[in-house]
Amino acid sequence: MFKSRFPYFSVNADDKNKNTRVYLDSAATTQKLDSVLLAMDNYHQEYNASVHRGAYQSAQLATKAYEQARVKIQQLISAKKADEVIFTSGATESINMIANGLSINDLSGTTILVMASEHHANLLPWQAFAKRHKLNMDVIELSSDGIFSERELSRLYEQLSDDIALIAIAHVSNALGNIYPLEDIIEKAAKHNIVSVVDGTQALAHISVDVQKLNCDFYVFSGHKMYGPCGIGVLYGKYEALTALAPSKLGGEMVVDVDFSAVSFQMPPLKFEGGTPNIAGAIGLGEAAEFVKNNIEEIKRHEEKLHQYLIRQLSQFDSLIMVGNSAALPTKNNINNHDFSEHLSIGTLSFTVKNQQLNDLALYLSQAGVAVRVGHHCAMPLMKRLKLQGTLRVSLACYSDLKDIDYLIEHISHFLRLDESQARLHALTETKSVDENKQHFLLASKVQQSRGWDNVYRQLLLASKSLRILPQELRTSLTSVSGCETDLWLAMADDRFAAYSQSKVVRGILALLIERADHNISCGIHDFDYLQYLEFLGLSHYFSEGRRDGIANAIKTIDVIMKTNANANANAKTNED
Ligand code: PLP
């Protein structure tokens, strides 16, 4: 809908081969709005100067634009005054500034309460704070499938008491997309004098935010998740909360008076903006704020419609398991038995797929030009509670469209069908392939002859089935190979190489390496460049960043085993002689 406002999507627009840019990772970072880029360019080219200092014209223009950006953000989040908006480098810095500047004397309870789905950025500073001040940590629970409904809300209300000092909670979960009913929660928390810190990083681009209505003490977010630049973010605080908060970034510009042994600070916001700020970033963020403010109703409508469509399309895959509030929304496969009816999720959707390595699926999608994220999404405690290693997350934004979703679904469908058809083919040709494997480099030659990612992928899947699997009891820390995003083991078992990884793609690559290593052993070749070999097979550019080191380490392990064996054989021979 707003796609034409985002230059990222028009790069190589007329080159069909390079043009697939299905960007579904907006929860990680959003694409940048044209007016954001223009405003930043204008500042750099036309009035580049530092703020709050010089009397010359550029400095005045820069200060004016910087302070105007503050006002635009005040308007976006409906803060009472612009002085409650502090520019930081991002949500992480904002939360650390609160945790480092809060006085324990301003807190009444002894426990910090955090939401189970919290991003590490809104967990680790509080863990450190609790340790420093000898406070307890407690968790707001979700259901076993990551849902927050009336049931979980009632449980949370029971947790709120005078014993709670502070509640740290996201407005929207980055890992699940859940929108939390903060207005009600904070109203109840305030009755117990609980300080509220809201991480709004995933909210601003997708829902309306009114900090006065929320009545939270602090609200933080990052520019790059709302169409603005990286390296800029906001710490909002009620003015009295900011007055009480100690500054943790000390230096130039934030003081009224300094002596060698004493200092008096400026009032907020300047007392928190020590050093030369990210002026271009603030100006860019101001533009992004204006765009979101002017369009938020249309954005919400558009994203809600896409989200519903995405849920419906994904629910056609029986092996796909959604987590988070999206899983509770009614679909044809899922009769909603949760006790809320409102739309309580943004268009961020997390899921796993039965019997599939999500990294394989993400790699497959990436080869087709689709950007999605796999992993714990910086919410490891949540994944542990959900008993998952991670999820595949699809995250929408205002520029997403039906075509993006259709393209995604087509390729997920293709991936799953490919897998089924390989299993059938393997069953049919099992006997034959055992015989064929007696020939040298059968797997390698098939990969090398394949053209295009689909065919290479198909051959890797087939190769993975030929891998000599390292028995479970031998998968220990001694045989583990580090550096791969999925667990990987490689060793000698019964005088032959064997290996294991949950990823089928990695298993395929290991099978190719072992096929070659087996041959090298039989021919007495001890020096061989396996990495170059994979390159020669045309595979190296298919290694994802998260696997490159693991594969390199697997090769080192093969080398070490080969050389150790060669030495042992040589010694045995000398002894015989
Ligand atoms: N909080 C949430 C919910 C996030 O999604 C993120 C980033 O992924 C952060 C905090 C940290 O943001 P930043 O890295 O911009 O400081």
- 140: confidence class by pLDDT, cuts 50, 70, 90: very high
Do 411 and 364 meet the contact criterion of CB atoms below 8 Å apart?
yes
Please give the Cα distance from 358 to 368 (Å, whole number).
15
Residue position matching structure tokens 């490891």: 380
Burial bucket for residue 23 (CB in 10 Å: 0-12, 13-18, 19+): buried
From the CB of 199, is ligand 1 less than 6 Å away? yes
The answer, yes or no, to whether residue 57 has pLDDT greater than 70, is: yes
The pLDDT of 518-540, averaged and rounded, is: 80
Which of 222, 278, 382 has most ligand 1 atoms within 8 Å of its beta carbon, as the pocket-test mutant?
222
Please indicate whether residue 501, judged by its CB atom, sits closer than 6 Å to ligand 1: no
Question: Is 80 exceeded by the pLDDT of residue 370?
Answer: yes
pLDDT at 152 over 80: yes
pLDDT tier at 146, thresholds 50, 70, 90: very high
**Tens digit of pLDDT for each residue in 544-577?**
777 788 888 999 999 888 888 777 777 776 666 5
Residue with tokens 């909360």: 241
DSSP string, 551-562: HHHHHHHHHHHH
Annotation marks residue 216 as catalytic: no
Residue 498 CA, ligand 1 centroid: distance in Å: 41
Span 90-99, mean pLDDT? 98
The predicted model gives 444-461 an average pLDDT of 83
Contact residues for 435 (Cβ-Cβ < 8 A; gap 6+): none
Q: Per CATH, which fold does 433-576 belong to?
A: Sufe protein. Chain: A (3.90.1010)
Distance 92 CA to ligand 1 centre (A): 6
CB of 382 within 6 A of ligand 1: the answer is no
- Cβ of residue 282 lying under 6 Å from some atom of ligand 1: no
Give the ranges where 30-141 is alpha helix by DSSP (H). 34-46, 57-77, 91-101, 124-133
Per-residue confidence (pLDDT) for residue 540, from 0 to 100: 74
Q: What is the pLDDT of residue 338?
A: 47
Output the average pLDDT for the chain. 90
Of ligand 1's listed atoms, the one at least distance from the Cα of 233 is 15
CATH 3.30.70.520 fits 3-31+296-411, yes or no: no
Instruction: Please report, for the chain, the start and end positions of each structural domain, with discontinuous segments joined by +.
Output: 3-31+296-411, 34-108+121-135+195-292, 433-576
User: With 50 as the cut, is the pLDDT of residue 18 above it?
Assistant: yes
pLDDT for the residue numbered 433 = 41
Cα separation of 344 and 210, whole Å? 17
Q: What is each CA distance from 453 to 327, 416, 449, in whole angstroms?
A: 32, 15, 12
Say if ligand 1 is within 6 A of residue 168 CB.
Answer: no
The verdict on the CB of residue 198 being under 6 Å from ligand 1 is no
What's the gap in Å between 529 CA and the centre of ligand 1? Answer: 41
- Retrieve residue 413's tokens: 């469908």
Is 126:114 a contact under the CB 8 Å cutoff? yes
Q: Which of 216, 230, 378, 398 is catalytic?
A: 378
Band of the pLDDT at 421, cuts 50, 70, 90? low
Determine the atom of ligand 1 nearest the C-alpha atom of 92: 16
**Ligand 1 pocket, residue 92 CB under 6 Å:** yes
List, for residues 453-481, the tens digit of each pLDDT value. Answer: 788 888 888 999 989 999 999 999 999 99
State the closest ligand 1 atom to the C-alpha of 90, by its place in the atom list counted from 1.
16
pLDDT at res. 435? 41
Shortest-distance atom of ligand 1 to CA 91:
16
pTM: 0.82
The confidence score (pLDDT) of residue 330 equals 59
pLDDT in tens, 302-346: 999 999 999 999 999 999 999 999 998 755 444 444 444 456 999
Mean pLDDT to the nearest integer, 261-285: 96
Q: How large a percentage of the chain has pLDDT more than 90?
A: 71
> Is 170 close to ligand 1, i.e. is its CB under 6 Å away?
yes
CA-to-CA separations, 231 to 83, 89, 278, 330, in angstroms, rounded: 20, 5, 8, 39
> Is 222 in contact with 91 (CB distance < 8 Å)?
yes
**397-434 burial, b if ≥16 CB within 10 A, otherwise e?**
bbbbbeebbebbbebbeebbeebeebeeeeeeeeeebe
Q: Indicate whether 171 pLDDT > 60.
A: yes
Pick among 3.90.1150.10, 3.40.190.10, 3.40.640.10, 1.20.1050.10: CATH of 34-108+121-135+195-292: 3.40.640.10
Nearest to 303 by CA among 270, 262, 343: 343
**pLDDT higher at 347 or 572:** 347
**pLDDT number for residue 438:** 45
**Model pLDDT, residue 454:** 80
Band of pLDDT at residue 227, cut at 50, 70 and 90: very high
Q: Do domains 34-108+121-135+195-292 and 433-576 have the same CATH topology?
A: no
Average pLDDT over residues 24-50: 98
